[in-house]
Amino acid sequence: MKMKFSTVALAALLFVGLPLTSSFAQIGISIGIAPPPIPIYEQPYCPAEGYIWTPGYWGYDSDYYWVPGVWVPPPRVGFLWTPGYWGYNGSNYFFNDGYWGPTVGFYGGINYGYGYGGQGYYGGEWVGNTFRYNTAVTRVNTSVIRNTYVNKQVINKTGSRASFNGPGGTTAKPTAQEQAAAKAEHIPATSAQQTRVEAAKKDPALHAANNHGKPKAEAIKALDRNNEAQAGAGKAKGKTGQEAANGNSAFGHKQGDATTRTKGSQNNAFGKAQSAEAHASHTAKAHRANTAATAHRASQHAQVASHRPQPAAVRQAGPAASTHAKGQATQPNKKKKPANEEPGGGH
């Protein structure tokens, strides 16, 4: 059952030795049944540089359910994860929420594995703005992630899988350093972590009532696949929207795609050709009209001249020479006419 933050929370704080000023000694759940032991599971490989492992733990709703561990990016460079843990106050078991901070605080002495041996975190360390991974306790593909080192001395060989602090579980007490860490600046679980908790809560295969405290590896892998699919769909949706926005922007600047622009250029070229053809045709017609008018005037001039008293040789040679000359000027234009009209006629 769920209980409000009251005397149970106060007793819990006194039990684990955390100061009352700690803003992250949050007790939201208190029940009378101890959580199952920490199951043995395989850590997946780190997906990218800078991600930090947050171990799996037992959550509680109507019963206990397993929240598988996951690699997540920290909310801030230099921050580490302090896992949440279950504690016992003499009558009930209560849960303390995990948090992000510059140092790892008290998490009940629980051996979560993969660098969380009960105190501190030895799966990796910050060196400036770079996170380095200890491959002695952390699964890292060194062909992809190069920032690694090896420290086998931190391996916890106790073999305890207790999932709570108290009788029958661990009996660790917070150190002065861990108490100081509880007072330092904190950031709660990220949205990615919270989403994973909700997904695990809704998965029947991860509930202890169904798996008897031993969640199957396939159920954990199925949860990972679903999370990856949802994350991929979200990214694809965002990418599609961005591409659409880019497409609209490009359309505004370029006025259509390449095909549309090519057709437009062709249409423009065709229009120019038609305009040129029309201009050429008009010029040819005007030239023919001028030639005809000139010939007509020459004919009239010849007729007038024929009535004037002139020497016969001059009267015969004038009109004949004029007519022959005009005929020579006209003949080349008649040959060029089909060539000028061919582009228009060809269409």
Question: How much of the chain is helix, strand and coil, in % rounded to 5?
Answer: 45, 15, 40
The tens digit of pLDDT for each residue in 147-200 reads 999 999 888 776 789 999 999 999 999 999 999 998 998 999 999 999 999 999
Strand 70-72 to strand 80-82: parallel, antiparallel, or no bridges (unpaired)? unpaired
> Is 296 in contact with 327 (CB distance < 8 Å)?
no
Residue 343 reports pLDDT greater than 80? no
CA dihedral 227, 66, 15, 32 (to 10 degrees): 130
- DSSP E strand boundaries for 37-92: 52-54, 57-60, 64-67, 70-72, 80-82, 85-88
Interaxial angle between packed helices 258-306 and 312-346, expressed in degrees from 0 to 180 and rounded to the nearest 10 = 170
Ranking 88-102, 156-170, 211-225, 332-346 by mean pLDDT, the lowest is: 332-346
Q: How far apart are CA 92 and CA 121, in angstroms?
A: 28
What's the pLDDT at 20?
33
Ranking 32-41, 118-127, 206-215, 233-242 by mean pLDDT, the lowest is: 233-242
Is the Cα torsion angle 74, 76, 78, 79 positive or negative in sign?
Answer: negative
What's the pLDDT at 227?
77
